[in-house]
Amino acid sequence: MLMHAHVLESFARYVAPELGWVPATEGPATGYTREELSAYGV
């Protein structure tokens, strides 16, 4: 179990920021608008 926690922590610390991920504690949540979702039938 400890190995999984280390992998997740490493991903969150090093990989995710390179992919443009921002923690919820550092900014507002962003995503698709209602109009964009309805255009895709969601």
CA distance 1 to 7: 10
Residue 40: CB atoms within 10 Å: 7
Higher pLDDT, 33 or 15: 15
pLDDT in tens, 4-32: 889 989 998 899 888 888 777 777 767 77
Higher pLDDT, 31 or 35: 35
Q: How many helices (H) and strands (E) does the chain have?
A: 3, 0
DSSP 27: S
Higher pLDDT, 37 or 4: 4
**What confidence score (pLDDT) does residue 1 get?**
60
Q: Residue 8 in 3-state DSSP?
A: helix
